[in-house]
Each structure stands twice: as C-alpha cells, then as structure tokens.
Amino acid sequence: MNTILLKNYQETEGQPMGEGGNHFTVKPVIPRDEATKCRVNFVEVEPGNFAYGYHYHEMSEEVFYIISGTGIVKTLNGELTVKAGDAITFPTGKEGSHVIRNGSETEKLIYIDFGTVHPAEIVHLPNIGKVMVVGPYSNGMYDEK
C-alpha cells in the first residue's frame, strides 16, 4: 500500500464470489495486488451461505471483525458463534482451519477480514482435497496428495 486509504463499507463496490449455489461478496479495502503487509476486505454473506470454504493458510494469519449479523465459524475444535462486535483470530497451520457461514435466516452477515500478506501463499482446502497456490507470478488450484 503506497497511500492512505479511506473506504466506506456502504460505498465500496463488491465483487461477487462463490460457486455451486453458494454466494458471498467481497469489497476490497486494501486489494491483494496493492497490499504489502496486510490485506483487508469487507465481506457480505447472505443467509444460508458461507465465505471461502473450509481452509487454512501456511503463511497468512487472519482476523475477522463482525460488523453485523451472526456467524457460525467451523474450526478444528468445533463451531463457534460470533456476533456484531466480536473479533476472532486464525493462526497459520491446521490449528487455524476455519470457514464462516451466516447463522441467520433473515439477516446478512457483514465482517471485515484482515490478513497478512506474503509473496507466496499456500491455502489448504481439506473438504475438497485441493491446495491453492497464490503468488506474484502464478495462481493455481491443485489436488492435495
């Protein structure tokens, strides 16, 4: 990041994400291609949906701050309920495995996703047996063996 940024959640344009009937929206505050130390996104998850899928990072730590709504976070140790005003942290490695889903049938879940940035990152998606590799020169999804 080379400049001071001021972004408002309601005024930031969203990027629809998801597949297989699951949808969520990411509104970049500090987009990955501009981040040097950390990236930040507003994330919206409609009722009945989840964001990103169950995963863990080898390099990046993450922090979610819940703006509104109720989330259910699946971890290695079971599920945790988070609500507006809560912050939850995820360390690197399997111990930080997580996915957040909207725990409400009517209210949108909105949170801020803070993450550290590294030149290359490996993300494990154990539920689908894949590994995602993200780097400055290439990105890809591979079978985990």
SS3 9: helix
pLDDT tens digit string along 17-46? 987 789 999 999 987 778 888 989 999 999
Mean pLDDT of the chain: 91
Examine residue 4 and state whether it is found in any structural domain, yes or no: no
- The predicted pLDDT at position 20 comes to 79
pLDDT tens digit string along 108-144? 999 999 998 887 888 899 999 999 888 777 788 889 8
Quote the CA–CA distance of 27 and 33 in Å, as a whole number: 14
Look up the pTM and report it. 0.85
Examine residue 124 and state whether it is found in any structural domain, yes or no: no
Whether the CB-CB separation of 123 and 132 falls below 8 Å is answered with yes
Examine residue 82 and state whether it is found in any structural domain, yes or no: yes
- The residue among 43, 98, 107 whose CA lies nearest residue 72 is 98
Q: How many domains does the chain have?
A: 1
Examine residue 138 and state whether it is found in any structural domain, yes or no: no
Within a 10 A sphere around the Cβ of 110, how many other Cβ atoms?
A: 19
Examine residue 29 and state whether it is found in any structural domain, yes or no: yes
Examine residue 134 and state whether it is found in any structural domain, yes or no: no
Strands 121-125 and 109-116: unpaired
Domain span holding position 110: 23-119
CATH number of the domain enclosing 90: 2.60.120.10
Examine residue 15 and state whether it is found in any structural domain, yes or no: no
- The predicted pLDDT at position 134 comes to 81
H or E element at residue 83 = strand 78-83
Examine residue 89 and state whether it is found in any structural domain, yes or no: yes
Within a 10 A sphere around the Cβ of 77, how many other Cβ atoms?
A: 8
